[in-house]
């Protein structure tokens, strides 16, 4: 079990979470960021890295990935620590006021302040629009491969047309009893080499590829027995005891919803002085928070973290006087940024 | 102004006046047409503004580009006349366009 301590734990490494490191860093607070993705940037990196953003002050146009890169450069002097590929699960307030946060990978992080900068929520696999699929999840239907042995000897149906679908089709073919790849069209979003390999294996009858969409499942007690595929020539029913759908990612609030914070339509209400939630010491900034007049702009998130940092400082260093300073003229701030003469 | 009609899944019709250059999705959101979610805000990154273009209009509206076609893989009940409404720009030739909203978005 990994464990670590930090002044501030930031949940979400999107643009607002990253800039929080800067504002908190100016007040000497150390930060750890946790994110379910494998890299910083949140939606900017995952959904639209190449799209230009036009409303970042002083950047007439900057790509979403470009903004993330610049933010990483800007916060580098504060040496933030990152826990990627992790989702927060539990939160507990200890007697001395410290928060103890656990993750789905059994990591434990202790922090004096928690900042939720989770945007639209954590990215999770999208449930495909197949009736009753919920009944089979976790027993016959899986959204990722944790152990290949789960699929040994099974009639496996893989649904999707991206790299995940193609890679697992090729990798699980030797393990499963049969593999059928289902995709709604003969073109793929995957690496051409994988697609060629798949077609070659189909040629040799080592697997089957069906053009179509899965419209129904049959089975009982969570155990799948067959899947109905609607193709260009009508419906076909194929044996299926394991299914792996790869339909991309969607965003969900996740376990944060169970932390006892007040919620407003899946958003977290905060005050507009400190951006603190209904639990003292837990702040929410960026797209995930709500207050009268809230605008979901990166710009607004940047403003929010500046104010939040003042309030966080009072918790992390109680009794210490907070001096308002400008980075243009303060030699102490410039020292922290590593730009002092 | 260009006239657009949205037919919601329950059959309710929404007639709107759209500005050329705006997207069909933007007009759906502005007029609160139910069933168009547009989670990503029009970045062609989510497939939650999926519509069916009325059969009489498919030729004029045209085919999706490769990126949109890729994104349609994530939509629900995709048909030959499926499009992502954030990728259809309103223009004079689309005056009178009718699009149907699917049962659900993904």
Digit-coded pLDDT (tens) for A144-156: 888 899 999 999 9
Q: What is the pLDDT of residue B76?
A: 83
DSSP A204-222: TTSSEEEESEEEEEEEETT
Q: List CB contacts (< 8 A) between A129 and chain B.
A: 76-77, 104, 106
User: What crossing angle do the helices spanning A163-172 and A192-203 adopt, rounded to 10°?
Assistant: 40
Q: Name the pLDDT band for A125 (thresholds 50, 70, 90).
A: confident
Rounded average pLDDT over A257-282? 94
Q: Cβ of B104 under 8 Å from any chain A Cβ?
A: yes
- Whether residue B82 is contained in a domain is answered as yes
Q: What tens digit of pLDDT does each residue of A101-117 get?
A: 999 888 999 999 999 99
Residues 74-93 of A with CB under 8 A from B: none
CATH topology of domain A3-124+250-336: FAD/NAD(P)-binding domain (3.50.50)
How far apart (Å, rounded) are the C-alpha atoms in residues A14 and A64? 10
Q: Name the pLDDT band for B45 (thresholds 50, 70, 90).
A: confident
Q: What tens digit of pLDDT does each residue of B47-59 get?
A: 899 999 999 999 9
Tell me if A162 and B73 make a contact (CB, 8 A cut-off): yes
Specify whether the backbone of A163 is left (phi greater than 0), alpha (psi in -120 to 50) or beta. alpha
Q: What is the pLDDT of residue A266?
A: 85
How far apart (Å, rounded) are the C-alpha atoms in residues A165 and A210? 13
Query: Which region among A27-36, A310-319, A323-332, B88-97 has the lowest average model confidence (pLDDT)?
Result: A323-332
SS3 state at A78 = helix
The domain total for chain B is 1
Q: What tens digit of pLDDT does each residue of A211-242 get?
A: 999 999 999 999 999 999 999 999 999 999 99
Q: What tens digit of pLDDT does each residue of B11-31 get?
A: 999 999 999 999 999 999 999
- Whether residue B105 is contained in a domain is answered as no
CA distance B17 to chain A (A): 26
Q: Cβ of A189 under 8 Å from any chain B Cβ?
A: yes
CATH topology of domain A127-247: FAD/NAD(P)-binding domain (3.50.50)
Backbone angles phi and psi of A177, in degrees to 5: -70, -45
Q: Are A289 and A255 in contact (CB under 8 A)?
A: no
Q: What is the pLDDT of residue A290?
A: 96
- Whether residue B35 is contained in a domain is answered as yes
Q: What is the pLDDT of residue A129?
A: 79
Tell me if B106 and A247 make a contact (CB, 8 A cut-off): yes
- Whether residue B106 is contained in a domain is answered as no
- Whether residue B24 is contained in a domain is answered as yes
pLDDT at A157 over 80: yes
Binding-site residues from annotation of A for FAD:
35, 43, 48, 88, 123, 287, 328
- Whether residue B31 is contained in a domain is answered as yes
Location of each CATH 3.50.50.60 domain in chain A: 3-124+250-336, 127-247
Chain A interface disruption, residue of B73, B80, B81, most A CBs within 10 A: B73
Q: What tens digit of pLDDT does each residue of A64-99 get?
A: 999 999 999 999 999 999 999 999 999 999 999 999
Tell me if A189 and B70 make a contact (CB, 8 A cut-off): yes
Contacts for A155 with CB less than 8 Å, ≥ 6 apart = A176, A177, A178, A180, A238, A239, A240, A241, A242
* Burial A126-142, CB ≥16 within 10 A → b, else e: bebbbeebebbeeebbb
Q: Which strands sit side by side in the sheet containing A155-159, from one edge to the other?
A: A208-211, A178-183, A155-159, A242-245
Chain B interface disruption, residue of A45, A48, A229, most B CBs within 10 A: A48
The CATH code of the domain that includes B12 is 3.10.20.30
Tell me if B104 and A129 make a contact (CB, 8 A cut-off): yes
Binding-site residues from annotation of A:
35, 43, 48, 88, 123, 287, 328
Distances (CA, A) of A254 to A113, A295, A324, B29: 20, 22, 37, 26
Q: List CB contacts (< 8 A) between A247 and chain B.
A: 73-74, 106
Q: Cβ of A191 under 8 Å from any chain B Cβ?
A: no
Range of the domain at B9: 2-100
pLDDT at A341 over 80: no
Q: What is the pLDDT of residue A2?
A: 85
Taking CB atoms within 8 Å and a gap of at least 24, the contacts of A51-57 are: A51/B43, A53/A298, A55/A297, A55/A298, A55/A299, A56/A298, A56/A299, A57/A299
Q: List CB contacts (< 8 A) between B70 and chain A.
A: 161, 189
């Amino acid at each position: 079990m990994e464990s670590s301590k930090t002044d501030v734990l930031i949940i979400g490494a999107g643009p607002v979470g990253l800039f929080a490191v800067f504002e908190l860093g100016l007040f000497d607070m150390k930060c750890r960021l946790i994110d379910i993705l494998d890299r910083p940037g949140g939606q900017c990196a995952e959904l639209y890295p190449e799209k230009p953003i036009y409303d970042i002050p002083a950047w007439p146009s900057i790509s979403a990935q470009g903004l993330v890169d610049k933010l990483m450069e800007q916060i580098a002097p504060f040496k933030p620590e990152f826990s990627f590929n992790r989702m927060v699960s539990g939160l507990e307030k200890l007697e001395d006021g410290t928060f103890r946060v656990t993750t789905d990978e059994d990591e434990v992080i202790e922090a004096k302040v928690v900042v939720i900068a989770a945007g639209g929520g954590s990215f999770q696999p999208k449930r495909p629009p197949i009736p009753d699929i919920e009944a089979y999840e976790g027993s016959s239907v899986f959204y990722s491969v944790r152990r290949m042995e789960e699929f040994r000897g099974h009639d496996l149906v893989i649904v999707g047309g991206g790299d995940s679908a193609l890679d697992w089709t090729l990798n699980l073919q030797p393990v499963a009893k049969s593999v059928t790849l289902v995709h709604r069209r003969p073109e793929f979003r995957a690496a051409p080499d994988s697609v060629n390999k798949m077609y070659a294996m189909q040629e040799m009858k080592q697997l089957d590829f069906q053009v179509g969409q899965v419209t129904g499942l049959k089975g009982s007690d969570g155990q799948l027995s067959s899947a109905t595929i609607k193709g260009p020539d009508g419906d076909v029913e194929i044996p299926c005891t394991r299914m792996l759908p790869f339909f991309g990612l969607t965003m969900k609030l996740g376990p944060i919803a169970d932390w006892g914070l007040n919620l407003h339509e899946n958003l977290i209400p905060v005050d507009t002085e400190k951006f603190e939630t209904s639990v003292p010491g837990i702040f929410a900034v960026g797209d995930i928070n709500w207050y009268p007049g809230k605008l979901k702009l990166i710009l607004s998130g940047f403003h929010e973290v500046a104010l939040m940092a003042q309030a966080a400082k009072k918790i992390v260093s109680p009794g210490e006087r907070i001096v308002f300073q400008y980075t243009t003229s303060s030699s102490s701030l410039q020292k922290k940024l590593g730009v002092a003469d | 102004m260009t006239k657009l009609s949205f037919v919601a899944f329950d059959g309710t019709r929404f007639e709107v006046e759209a500005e050329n250059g705006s997207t069909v999705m933007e007009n759906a959101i502005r007029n609160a047409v139910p069933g168009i979610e547009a989670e990503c805000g029009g970045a062609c990154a989510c497939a939650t503004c999926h519509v069916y273009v009325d059969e009489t209009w498919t030729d004029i509206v045209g085919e999706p580009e490769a990126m949109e076609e890729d994104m349609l893989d994530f939509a629900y009940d995709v048909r030959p006349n499926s499009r992502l409404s954030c990728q259809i720009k309103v223009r004079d030739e689309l005056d009178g366009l009718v699009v149907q909203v699917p049962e659900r978005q993904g």
